[in-house]
């Protein structure tokens, strides 16, 4: 038995299989395209080390299953061969058990009995703050899926999705979070467990609420994703709420649920007088895109904002959408038609930013995107004013780095950054308008 052979080394991401297990009657209510079992993590280095390798096994399979609602866990480790135990052979179950709460199942039959029990008895923790509906027949994969808000509740194929707000003080939630938090390590790069000693954490959790075809009066809840929120003091007596962790599990991704969860958080912020604004901690590129798209759509749908910003031509009669020509292209606006300029009126921007509770840098970026979309490319004065407006913000944001360069290099770097920013704005706008 050659212990140096690569055949004893296994890719941890491939070996670890995750499943959201439903009771038989709930599985029978799914469409063929809906698959919630047998997906894999994106990262396992927080558990198995930087190389994400497991040593000492052949044909290693790790099944970590969750009851789809309560997230009660079952762990099974199987292999065809194993090297004699030594300090170099990984203890797979012992390693994983350090990251999940004790009491997980190792008997699959008992686990399935628990799944059946929890399907009928599990209910979300906390207060419902948002909901939307989707026809089961439209649960397809694709970016920018529209979230339908109103479907017939009598339709057995209508699937409800609900968002609940909780804190550490919510009865039962602390134990639920201990089962849920593993997903942060597996799907958020650089993610880590938050401290239960910090009692100000808030949570929003998204669930699927599904009717059983066999018993339409029975509804069951299934975990979709969640976000952690942390409040910071904001003078004089309010808080800034920061999105810290945000994830949607792979079986539900590319289906519009991330946008729905973000919308739920934003609406929660708007409706809470004690919250001054919503911020985001070190957002990943994919989340930043999601945030930009949803914030832009919100601004465009705000008729008063668009009318004041760009003049009456910026608002149509169908819900605040950008005015379009007969050929379907967005109209360009003459400079000075509204408060957006360019340059935009700073006092007016700050009034709206405060009212909409959007962080300063994010709001400025959104404004710059909207001006770019509406600006007449033939208007040289507007183009110059826009360039100066964006560059001024970039200069302030990157001041320390730019001041390390000489004047010519500084101007060149600022122009390169401006061109890169504008190109990215056009990309984002292409997904929204």
What is the mean pLDDT of the segment spanning 142-167? 69
Q: Are 266 and 399 in contact (CB under 8 A)?
A: no
Task: Point out the least confidently predicted range of 164-178, 233-247, 302-316.
Answer: 302-316
Answer with the residue of higher pLDDT: 120 or 144.
120
Task: Band the pLDDT of 146: cuts 50, 70, 90.
Answer: very low
Q: How confident is the model at residue 322 (pLDDT cuts 50, 70, 90)?
A: very low
pLDDT confidence bin for 155, thresholds 50/70/90: low
Q: Kindly report, residue by residue over 361-418, the tens digit of the pLDDT.
A: 999 999 999 999 999 999 999 999 999 999 999 999 988 888 888 889 989 999 999 9
| Bigger pLDDT: 140 vs 182 | 182
pLDDT at 270: 97
The pLDDT value given to residue 319: 44
For residues 165 and 148, the model is more confident at: 165
Give residue 318's pLDDT: 42
How far is residue 2's CA from residue 377's CA, in Å, rounded to a whole number? 69
Task: Mention every residue, 6+ apart, whose C-beta is less than 8 A from residue 344.
Answer: 309, 367, 371, 389
Active-site residue (options: 281, 355, 392, 416):
281
Residue 332 has what pLDDT? 60
Cα end-to-end distance, the chain, whole Å: 62
Supply the pLDDT for residue 156: 61
Cα–Cα distance measured from residue 397 to residue 420, given in angstroms and rounded to the nearest whole number: 15
Burial of 235 from C-beta contacts in 10 A (0-12 / 13-18 / 19+): exposed
pLDDT at 346 over 50: yes
241 within 8 A of 230, measured Cβ to Cβ: yes
Instruction: For the chain, give the mean pLDDT.
Output: 91
Which pLDDT belongs to residue 324?
A: 46
Active site residue 59: no
Q: Could you tell me the pLDDT band of residue 157, with boundaries at 50, 70 and 90? A: confident
pTM of the model: 0.91
pLDDT, tens only, 188-216: 999 999 999 999 999 999 999 999 989 98
Kindly report, residue by residue over 218-270, the tens digit of the pLDDT.
999 999 999 999 999 999 999 999 999 999 999 999 999 999 999 999 999 99
Q: What pLDDT does residue 154 have?
A: 56
- As a whole number, mean pLDDT of residues 155-168 equals 90
Q: What is the reported pLDDT for 315? A: 65
Q: What is the pLDDT of residues 33-51, one digit of tens each?
A: 899 999 999 999 999 999 9
Predicted confidence band of residue 311 (pLDDT cuts 50, 70, 90) = confident
């Amino acid at each position: 038995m050659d212990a140096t052979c690569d055949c004893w080394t296994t890719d941890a991401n491939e070996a670890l299989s995750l499943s959201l297990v439903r009771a038989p009657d709930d599985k029978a209510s799914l469409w063929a395209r809906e698959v919630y079992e047998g997906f894999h993590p994106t990262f396992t280095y927080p558990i198995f080390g930087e190389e994400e390798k497991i040593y000492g096994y052949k044909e290693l399979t790790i099944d970590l299953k969750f009851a789809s609602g309560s997230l009660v866990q079952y762990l099974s480790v199987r292999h065809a061969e194993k090297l004699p135990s030594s300090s170099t052979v990984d203890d797979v179950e012992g390693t994983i058990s350090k990251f999940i709460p004790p009491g997980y199942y190792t008997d699959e039959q008992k686990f399935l009995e628990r799944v059946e029990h929890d399907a009928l008895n599990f209910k979300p923790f906390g207060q419902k703050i948002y909901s939307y509906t989707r026809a089961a027949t439209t649960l397809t994969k694709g970016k920018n899926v529209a979230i339908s808000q109103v479907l017939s509740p009598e339709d057995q194929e209508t699937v409800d999705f609900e968002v609940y707000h909780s804190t550490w003080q919510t009865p039962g939630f602390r134990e639920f979070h201990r089962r849920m938090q593993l997903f942060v390590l597996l799907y958020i790069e650089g993610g880590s467990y938050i401290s239960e000693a910090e009692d100000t954490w808030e949570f929003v959790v998204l669930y699927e609420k599904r009717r059983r075809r066999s018993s339409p009066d029975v509804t069951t809840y299934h975990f979709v994703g969640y976000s952690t929120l942390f409040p910071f003091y904001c003078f004089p007596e309010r808080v800034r709420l920061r999105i810290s962790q945000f994830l949607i599990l792979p079986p539900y991704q590319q289906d519009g649920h991330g946008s729905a969860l973000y919308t739920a958080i934003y609406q929660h912020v708007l409706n809470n007088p004690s919250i001054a604004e919503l911020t985001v901690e070190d957002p990943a590129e994919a989340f930043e895109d999601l945030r930009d798209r949803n914030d832009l759509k919100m601004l465009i749908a705000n008729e008063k904002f668009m009318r004041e910003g760009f003049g009456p031509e910026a608002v149509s009669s169908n819900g605040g959408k950008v005015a379009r020509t007969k050929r379907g292209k967005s109209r360009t606006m003459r400079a000075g038609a509204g408060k957006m300029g360019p340059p935009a009126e700073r006092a007016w921007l700050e009034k709206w930013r405060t009212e909409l509770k959007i962080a300063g840098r994010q709001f400025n970026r959104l404004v710059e995107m909207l001006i770019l979309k509406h600006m007449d490319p033939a208007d040289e004065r507007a183009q110059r004013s826009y360039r100066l407006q964006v560059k001024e913000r970039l200069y302030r944001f990157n001041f320390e780095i730019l001041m390390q360069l000489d004047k010519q290099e500084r101007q060149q770097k600022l122009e390169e950054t401006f061109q890169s920013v504008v190109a990215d704005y056009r990309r984002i706008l292409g997904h929204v308008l």
